[in-house]
Amino acid sequence: MIYNNIIDGKNIGSQLLRNSSPVNWPLIVCNNTVLNDASPHSSMNYYIGDCSNYMIFNNIVDGMSGTITYKRSNNLYIGLNWSQDPANGWFLSDF
């Protein structure tokens, strides 16, 4: 569980929160502010594949990349990653 953090990449770090492989337990990311990634709108990156046990909610994030199979709600996005397209179900908020 990753919760209640302010993570500022100061435009140096890339993919500030990253998971490169699936996990077999619930991964919960909530109540975080993640911004100023060195790559535009890529502050969170999660494994592409079955991430149905991931829950991402109540965050303020400068973009995400990865799969849409995880559960997400009540997030605000400062910007959207190239893969976060409205045709794929992405908008600046998950409300």
The pTM assigned to this predicted structure is: 0.79
Q: What average pLDDT does this structure show over 61-70?
A: 74
* Confidence band of 95 (pLDDT split at 50, 70, 90): confident
Cα–Cα distance, 21 to 10 (Å, whole number):
26
DSSP string, 37-69: -SSTT-SEEE-SS--TTEEEES-EES-EES-S-
CA dihedral in degrees (64, 18, 66, 56; nearest 10)? -70
Q: Give yes or no for residue 48 having a pLDDT over 60.
A: no
* Confidence band of 66 (pLDDT split at 50, 70, 90): low
Cα–Cα distance, 58 to 48 (Å, whole number):
21
Higher local confidence (pLDDT), 5 or 47:
5
Question: What is the pLDDT at residue 86?
Answer: 81
Q: What average pLDDT does this structure show over 72-83?
A: 85
